[in-house]
Amino acid sequence: MKNFIFHNPVKIIFGKDQISKIAQEIPANARVLMTYGKGSIFKNGVYDQVKQALAGIELHEFGGIEPNPRYETLMKAVEIIHQNKLTFILAVGGGSVIDGSKFIAAAALYNGDPWDFLSKDIKVKAALPLGSILTLPATGSEMNGNSVVTRESSRQKMAFSSPLVYPQFSVMDPQTTLSLPWVQTANGIADTWIHVTEQYLTYPQNAPLNDRLAEGILKTLIEEAQKVLEDPNNYETRANLMWCSTMALNGLLSTGVYTDWATHQIGHELTALHGLDHALTLTIIFPGLMRMMKIEKREKLLQYAERVWNITQGSDDEKIEAGIEMTDQLFRNLGLKTRLSEHQITKEDIQYITDRFNKNGPNKLGEKGLITPHTINSILLSRL
Ligand code: NZQ
Ligand code: ZN
User: Tens of pLDDT along 133-145?
Assistant: 999 999 999 999 9
Q: How far apart are CA 121 and CA 287, in angstroms?
A: 30
What CATH number is attached to the domain comprising 75? 3.40.50.1970
**Cα 278 to ligand 2 centroid, rounded to whole Å:** 7
Outline where DSSP puts E strands in 108-164: 130-134, 146-151, 156-161
My answer on whether 367 and 277 are in the same domain is yes
CB 284 within 8 A of CB 336: no
Position in ligand 1 atom list of the atom nearest CA 149: 39
**Percent of all residues in the chain with a pLDDT value above 70, rounded to a whole number:** 100
Please tell me the predicted confidence (pLDDT) of residue 134.
99
User: Can you say whether the dihedral through the CA atoms of 52, 53, 55, 58 is positive or negative?
Assistant: negative
Please tell me the predicted confidence (pLDDT) of residue 23.
95
| Over residues 214-240, mean pLDDT | 98
Nearest to 160 by CA among 170, 168, 151, 171: 151
| Over residues 86-97, mean pLDDT | 98
My answer on whether 31 and 47 are in the same domain is yes
Coil/strand/helix, residue 259: coil
User: Is the Cβ atom of 264 under 6 angstroms away from ligand 1?
Assistant: yes
Nearest to 40 by CA among 91, 90, 93, 96: 93
Please report, to the nearest 10 degrees, the dihedral formed by the alpha carbons of residues 271, 273, 274, 276 taken in order: 0
Last residue of a domain, one of 149, 177, 205: 177
Max intra-chain CA distance, the chain: 66
Last residue of a domain, one of 177, 210, 237: 177
Compute CA distances 33 → 79, 83, 132, 244, whole Å.
11, 12, 12, 29
Compute CA distances 74 → 39, 65, 69, 125, 166, whole Å.
16, 7, 7, 19, 18
Instruction: Print the domain residue range for 123.
Output: 11-177
Query: In this predicted model, what pLDDT tens digit does every residue of 200-225 receive, in sequence order?
Result: 999 999 999 999 999 999 999 999 99
My answer on whether 153 and 189 are in the same domain is no
Can you say how many angstroms the Cα of residue 242 is from the centroid of all Cα atoms in its chain? Answer: 13
My answer on whether 234 and 347 are in the same domain is yes
Coil/strand/helix, residue 34: strand
- If one counts the domains in the chain, the total is 2
What CATH number is attached to the domain comprising 315? 1.20.1090.10
Instruction: Give 308: exposed, middle or buried? Use CB within 10 Å, 0-12, 13-18, 19+.
Output: buried
Q: How far apart are CA 12 and CA 15, in angstroms?
A: 10
> Of all protein residues, whose CA lies closest to atom 20 belonging to ligand 1?
184
Position in ligand 1 atom list of the atom nearest CA 271: 37
Query: In this predicted model, what pLDDT tens digit does every residue of 267-318 receive, in sequence order?
Result: 999 999 999 999 999 999 999 999 999 999 999 999 999 999 999 999 999 9
46, part of any domain: yes
Can you say how many angstroms the Cα of residue 202 is from the centroid of all Cα atoms in its chain? Answer: 19
Last residue of a domain, one of 145, 177, 209: 177
| Ligand in nearest proximity to the CA of 64 | 1
Mutate to test the pocket of ligand 1, among 136, 141, 280 (most ligand atoms within 8 A of CB): 136
